[in-house]
Every structure is written in structure tokens, then in C-alpha cells.
Amino acid sequence: MDETTEQTQQPEQQTPQTSPTSQAPQAQPTQPTALGAFSDQLAQAVERAAKSTVTVAARPRQTATGILWSANGETVVLTADHVVEREDDITVTLPDGRSTRAQLAGRDPSTDLAVLRLPGVELGAANVPAQISQDARVGHLALAIGRPTDGGVRVSFGVISSIDGPQRSWQGAQIERILYPDVTLYPGFSGGPLVNLEGKVIGLNSSRLTRQSAALPVVTLQRVVNTLLTHGRVRRGYLGVGTQQVPLSPTLAQKAGLNQEAALLVVTVEPESPAEQAGLFVGDQIIGMGDQTVSNVETLRAALATTPAGQPLAIRILRGGETRDVSVIIGERA
């Protein structure tokens, strides 16, 4: 066959027809996972709380955090007392980025709480007083929020590991409860809020309140803030005695008609103190104050804490095996 006329027939390639049932499946919308939903809940809680979290500049090198708080018809800033190292030239940076001067309204080192006023400041919609909650229980998840710089909030996440109280701070203040969250308080976090998963404040964080990271609960914040705004300080009763718990003999207790097993032995009386002026002596045994039985130092302090300075308080003592009532004008601890 002539090579010039020979042709090789190649079959035409047909484009395969794809039936509807053989098409690649389309990607389905991703369903949110439980963990993703929980993560979004945390982010939303931080966003809510951030609107009431401010930066406080009241010490030379390190700024701290504060909380916008509504009390007595005004909006103030709560922060930790130990971060307020100067009482003048205090600056607060609001959540919207504005900086403003603040005035110290009052402070209480014993609870590590200070209150700042913001004179003449219009807050606006971006700066909102904190929403609060007193529902804090062991096992609840919580977030510690700080705004130590103007770069936005920082967050530490954990669980409330314990709640103690009523308890006394290491400086002697009676505190209704102390929250111990398993969170990290980074530099500048003191004075900031501890919030729940709704973004509501359940406490104020402090690295100085106890010997570990802790938070003042809302019930204490409300009480102390109202006192500081009214008086500028917390006025605590002062008696002026040193005491030691001692057992009462059953015979003596029965003779005196007492239903208690211990009393407080007066071991020192400070000169010119309310105790000395009322005639208390070393060797007296305190068994009651007002209508409260006194058998340990905690009950003594509790009675003093509820008696305003300058008010008389009936103290029942044992002296020479006999009961006596002594009226003391309670002083104020400096």
C-alpha cells in the first residue's frame, strides 16, 4: 500500500458523561463542637467584662488594673490598695482608650481595697459599670482579667479551688469570704475582676490579700466600698488589751452560771487605752461582750468589729471568781 495513502484511523475520544449520582459530594457546613461553643462562651465573657476593666497608674513603674463599679449613685473605680503607692497624680485609662485623672476616695489596707473617683468624666457606651454576681462556688470556672497596659485585656483561666471564711486577713480585717481561684495573677492583674462564665464580677483579685492569689467576694466589696465612700476609711473598734485563751474550770463555770468552757485571760493592758480607762486589769477573764459569749480571740474581734468607735460596750468579766459587768467606750484603731 502506498505510504502516502495509508492512514491510521484513531477512535475519537469521547468526554465521559457524569451522571448526577456520580458527582463529588459537596462539603457540608461544619457543625460547632461543644468545645468550640465553650470557647466562644469564654470569649464573650471576656468581652463583657472588658467594658468595665480599666488600667490604673498609681505607682512609679508598674500599672495595675481596676474595675468600674456603681455605688451610692456614682460610678467609681475599685482597685487593690497595695497598687496605689501615691495619692496624687493617679491616672485611669478607660476601656475606650481615654485617659483621665482620678482622685483617691478612700482606702483600706486591711482588705487591700481602694476606691477612686472620676470627677467630671462622661463614661459613654463603651465604658460600663461591672455586672456582679454573688453566686461563686467551689468548682466553678472563673477568669481573672487584667488590663495592665493600654494594649487590651489579658486573661487567666481556672477554677475556684476553695472558699474560706468568715476569715481574717493577715492585717486583721474581718472578711466574709475569701475566694481562692486556680488562676495566674500576672504582673498588673491585682485590682482586676474575677468573673464567671457570664462575664459578671464575682471578686476582685489581689496578690497581697493573703499569702497566695485570692479574691475579695462581692459581698465584701459592697460593704467596704460604701464605707470608704462615706468615711474615707474603715473604722474598726479598739479595746487595747492583749489576751490569751484559757480553760474555765467546770466548778467556776457552774458557780457563775456559764455555759462555756473557755475565756480570754487579759495579759496586757495598754496605757490610756479604752480598757485601762474602763478599769480592766491584768488577770481579768473576759467571758462576754454585749450579748455575745466570748471564748476566743475571734469572737472578741467580731464583737469589736460590729461596735462603732465611740459607743459604749458592756464587757462581762470574771475577777476573783465573781462575774462583773464593765462598760467600755470603744476606741478607733488608727
Q: Is 164 a catalytic residue?
A: no
Q: How far apart are CA 215 and CA 201, in angstroms?
A: 11
Radius of gyration of the chain (CA): 33
| Catalytic position from the list 82, 110, 156, 295 | 82
Q: How far apart are CA 263 and CA 282, in angstroms?
A: 14
Q: Is 213 a catalytic residue?
A: no
Q: Is the peptide bond before 109 cis (omega within 30 degrees of 0)?
A: no
| Catalytic position from the list 190, 206, 207, 295 | 190
Q: Is 232 left (phi over 0), alpha (psi -120 to 50) or beta?
A: left
| Catalytic position from the list 81, 108, 112, 284 | 112
Write out the three cell numbers for 221: 466589696
Q: Catalytic amino acids? A: 82, 112, 190
